[in-house]
Chains A and B, each alone.
Chain A
Amino acid sequence: MISEQPSETELQPTTATHCPYCAFQCGMDLAGTPDDLLITGSASFPVNKGALCIKGWTAGAALAHPERLRTPLMRGSDGELHPTSWETALERTAQAFRDTRARYGPQAVGIFGGGSLTNEKSYLLGKFARVALQTPNIDYNGRFCMSSAAAASIRALGIDRGLPFPLEDIAGAEVVLMLGSNSAETMPPIMQYFEAQRENGGKLIVADPRLTPTAQRADLHLRLIPGTDAALANGLLHILVRDGLIDTGYIAERTEGFEQVRNLVATYWPERVERITGVPEAQLLRAARMLGSAASAMILTGRGTEQQSQGVNNVLSFINVALALGLVGRPKSGYGCLTGQGNGQGGREHGQKADQLPGYRLITDPAARRHVAGVWGVAEESLPGPGKSAFELLDSLGHPDSDGSSGVRALLVMGSNVVVSAPNVINVEERLKSLDFLVVSDFFLSETAALADVVLPSAQWAEEEGTMTNLEGRVIRRRRAFAPPAGVQDDVTTICNLAWLLGKGNHFDYADTAEIFAELGRASAGGPADYSGITYEKVEANDGVFWPCPGPDHPGTPRMFTDGFPTASGKARFHAVRHASPAEEPDAEYPLYLTTGRNLAQYQSGTQTRRIPELSDMTPSPLAEMHPLTARRYGIGDGSSVRVSTRRGAADFTVKITRNIREDTIFAPFHWGGMQAVNRLTNPALDPTSRMPEFKICAARIESTEGAK
């Protein structure tokens, strides 16, 4: 994408914005035109410091992509999607929403949002659900992302901000324990902080069933059996207690509930933990001693630990370790979650979740309802209660509710490709098809959009204004470099126009996104994620502002918990959690673990990245990784075709034989659709608290399909 005519592009003004992909939100400068774009990593932005990965460098290719949607589409009587005008598309949508409400009640219209939408869009979508549609049924794909870590952090620490410290602190930590995160592939520019940490003499421990590129850089790799995370944590804490490496002063002053945890971990002696986790005792001892003897240490979790039916307990068990070592709130130390999606952090704070109102408030909290209703200028009673969580919402589409009322029959999907990214997508596709009406906003005809009655072409990252909140809780500015192509409209305008058509336009009357952000700030005021002191100007002047920022003169909060926890007692809470088996364990019929994840050159459901030639060239199709002994047992050769089956269905992959995976486990990435969608296979067993599906573990069998072609 480097311009061949630099003299011309240099004349163009550059726009400072951020990468469209992951939660690291690299700063980047854009110059040129959409079809001839020069992207440079922003050296002055203190997060990525100039670095970009190949997804960032090539992000411009999606802007002028030939497959880009440039007009709304509507399904005709022939069953096909045809171009139509915005007026017709929106009127059809509004009419469908009105009809559904009239016939089945307001709860029958649902919204499914996304963790890559800006704060303004996330906020507006939540407000649209509660004010314009008056439906409780709104949730988003972030539920499939960090919801387990979020729930655990709130229970243990009183608040959820992915990293409660700036990234720069990583470089100064003596020891970092990373669980179930492959950030060298999923968030490559973050690795500069781990490189700096290593140069400073620090050590890295990675726990993962795979020897991932991230694990390859570790000083110690714990290759645990999938689903045994909490046993590992309890085992480490057992050793720390035994060897007197815990911080009893901190435990006494700043925490509560340690006694029960100490009693619980007495049952996790190393020999037992080795048998449960498959991690040799010598490695358990080494890991515990590294952590316990360090002056500063961090524990970071990723999706591997969180996307389980035990996800919340897994995270709680590691927060226990962090608290017992006195790490949380100490310099260069603490517990953090490495958020996944671009606005995974901000997207979960402003009311896009079924149980939340802006500012990370609970929709069941009367004070929160009163406050937000006041800001919105609506009656408190008019706000609906909590709705269904993401998978439950998708799973219920077209079905009546348990109380006999109608379930969701009309759905708006914005910024999510659920027939690729949800668990058990065969079922999700059936549910979507059972709807009376489906409208999807996206910039390509994603697998989900292809099922819609109406498709709304939306603006992309470089064509819109707003804010994002990165994995550190740093609110940053997304800036518009270009107008959207003719026929394309940004989601803010779409939501507001729909609100007007539904007769609620007076609540959706904004001059620009700054006005929406200011209202978001007022709505969040006093809540855990308080944005009320943040303005676009302040963000621009300071390379971002860390929430909470409760007032105009407040500088923001880069480091949390330094002198207390936002819990009732002001102390952090231990939680005694026994490990439990995953919902599905290998057996004679399905003898292997199947785990899923991401590749470096693809992003999420692949809607964008699969269309970018450089990225497709690097990873053209999904590879199922397996150990050579496993491959040999099933007579499968490297590069051959394999069918992977579970109790949900089957999917087809090409085999990659590697010793970097356990013999009992196979891995496949989830970026592809159709028969290559690994989420045809995954188990929708939910965590009881976070409602996170168990993407990371199910039982599978494999068979060669080499001769079948």
Chain B
Amino acid sequence: MTDKQKLVVIGNGMAGARFVEEMVALGGQEQYDITVIGEEECGNYNRILLSGVLSGSHNPDDIFINPVDWYAANGVELHTGVRVIGIDRKGKMAYGAGGVLMPYDKLVIATGSSPFVPPMDGLITDEGAYKKGAFVFRTLEDCKEIIDYAASGAQSVAVIGGGLLGLEAARGLLNRGMEVHVVHLMAWLMDQQLDPKSGELLMRSLEGPGVQFYLEKLTTAILGDDRVAGLEFKDGSTLDCDMVVISAGIRPNVDLARMAGLHVRRGILVNDSLACRNDQNIYAIGECAEHRSQTYGLVAPLWDQARVLAERLAGRNAEASYTGSRIATKLKVMDVELAVAGDKDALTEDDEVVTYVEPNRHVYKKVIVRDGKVTGAILLGDGSAAPRILQAFDRQEALPENRSELLFPMAGDAGLPMKVEDLPDAARICDCNGVTKGRIMAAATEEGCGSLKAVCDATRAGSGCGSCKPQVQAVLDLGRNKLEMAK
């Protein structure tokens, strides 16, 4: 019916849906008929907030960004609950399970990632499902199932994986009144983002009633006959629990691309135009894409990519290119404030590492400076410095020579309130009317003004906004005292 090109987007998650939103905002529908295929049954929701849903702080309805009716209202065709099983690059056709055929001129792959599930005995049942009580934590559906199971009488849960997502899951389950065991393969928590010291301090600040940590534990088996009853570790020890949540990392979903013959390493290889290396009509964005040897698991880079690709395809900026993102994240792990950015350790001998540690309060601040710019930071237990340092990192700003001013931004920020005795006569007491201490003193001592009202009438102090009246009174008292002393 039209001579528009067909644009097919595989994936309706954080990257795919954002890209479609950007296309709509840029008027991309003038050139394309847009079709989106989502594997989940619902519209697009904010995956970042799943941990909030798990902990009960967010209502699932409040995390939707583009509900199903958004697509129709914006002229976008949406297929939900459809898994794409193949791409015919020669015929320019995507095949959905159940016989859905989608011809394309341009194809965007935004298939995201899947939970990495390490091999463990007893996890998969004969029917091919996870054992009752074992879950991964990736989708809203996973989240709902975990909540239901936790509410059905489970008392204790093991979370496999002490990374960012694992700790968020642990917080959610703790909020639901469960006894939580966090099992981590490495020697310290969040080993991807933290150095050993901060990982240790993080663990110490998180430990408490209801939460226990097990480091350097490789889970080899899920115990229990028809439902989860415990874990067994490689060292032979075991742990009793009623349920297990596996969040041991993610893997880009690249099978579809690989089968289609696209170049794939960890992710689908794309260049700065976000087009696949060996097919310029196919693009990949989001967690499934690998750009300059980097795959991303945070939302900001995904949205940067979505924006760049939309600008290119909508013709707003045919030269738009993606050159990589600076990775920083701010998270709350069980109410402990933590911000991390860039490198976690010095990379060269010339790198300057500024560290402040306060073990008692579990405060750790580390900034890595290279060529006078922040290239990495770990800020644990004190949220006040994070906005300033992350801004310096994001924008590669020049830094104060005295690095402590970066770590302690508020130091000396607000002066102590001055006593009126210590102020010089020229100090202004009433800003509205420019009345100085000397003028008020004169009214009190030389002009015989004995009351606040008399001073205010004579000098106009306090007759604007009125907020200086306490100080006017104090100066008046000072003046009256002076008179008394002189007697």
Contact = CB atoms under 8 A, between A and B. Distances in A.
A269 B48 contact: yes
Residue of A188, A633, A659 with most chain B CB atoms under a 10 A cut-off: A188
Given A192-B465, A225-B391, A664-B397, A267 B46 contact: yes
B433 A54 contact: yes
A211 B460 CA distance: 26
A195 B466 contact: yes
B148 interface: no
Nearest to B299: A272
Contact of B49 (A184, A263, A269, A600): A269
B384 A280 contact: yes
A210 to B, nearest CB: 13
Interface in A242-294: 242-244, 259, 262-264, 266-267, 269, 271-272, 274-275, 277-282
A185 interface: yes
B197 interface: no
Contacts of B337: 281-282
A242 B58 contact: yes
A632 interface: yes
Interface string B411-449: 011110000000000000001111000000000000000
A51 interface: yes
A664 B412 CA distance: 18
B46 A274 contact: no
Contacts, number: 130
A266 B65 contact: yes
A192 B52 CA distance: 42
Interface string A337-364: 0000000000000000000000000000
Contacts of A225: 391
A103 B414 CA distance: 63
A664 B409 CA distance: 13
Contacts of A271: 329-332
A549 interface: no
B316 interface: no
B464 interface: yes
B433 A53 contact: yes
A51 B463 contact: yes
* Interface size classification for chain A: 35 or more
Contacts of A586: 395
A50 B460 CA distance: 11
A304 B432 CA distance: 21
A211 B413 CA distance: 10
B357 interface: no
A54 B400 CA distance: 39
Contacts of B300: 272, 275
A664 B431 contact: no
Interface in B209-256: none
Nearest to B410: A659
A91 interface: no
Contacts of B431: 184-185, 188, 213, 600
Contact of A52 (B394, B401, B414, B464): B464
B57 A54 contact: no
Contact of A57 (B63, B67, B395, B460): B460
Contacts of B58: 242
A263 B65 contact: yes
Main secondary structure of the interface of A (DSSP, over half): helix
A52 B466 CA distance: 10
Nearest to B329: A271
Contacts of A591: 397-398
A263 B70 contact: yes
Interface in A157-215: 184-185, 188-192, 194-195, 211, 213
A189 B465 contact: yes
A241 B463 contact: no
B330 A192 contact: no
B62 interface: yes
Nearest to A281: B383
A217 B467 contact: yes
A192 B466 CA distance: 6
A184 B398 CA distance: 34
B65 A267 contact: yes
Contacts of A633: 398, 400-401
B64 A266 contact: yes
B386 interface: yes
Given A57-B460, A278-B391, A263 B67 contact: yes
A606 to B, nearest CB: 16
B434 A632 contact: no
Contacts of B413: 659
A111 B210 CA distance: 73
Interface string B251-272: 0000000000000000000000
A663 B466 contact: no
Contact of B432 (A50, A54, A278, A617): A54
B46 A282 contact: no
Interface in A517-562: none
Contacts of B65: 263-264, 266-267
A393 B300 CA distance: 40
13 contacts: A52-B460, A53-B433, A54-B460, A242-B52, A262-B62, A266-B49, A267-B46, A275-B300, A280-B387, A586-B395, A629-B400, A629-B405, A633-B401
Interface of A: 41, 50-54, 57, 184-185, 188-192, 194-195, 211, 213, 217, 225, 241-244, 259, 262-264, 266-267, 269, 271-272, 274-275, 277-282, 586, 591, 600-601, 614, 617-618, 629, 632-633, 659, 663-664
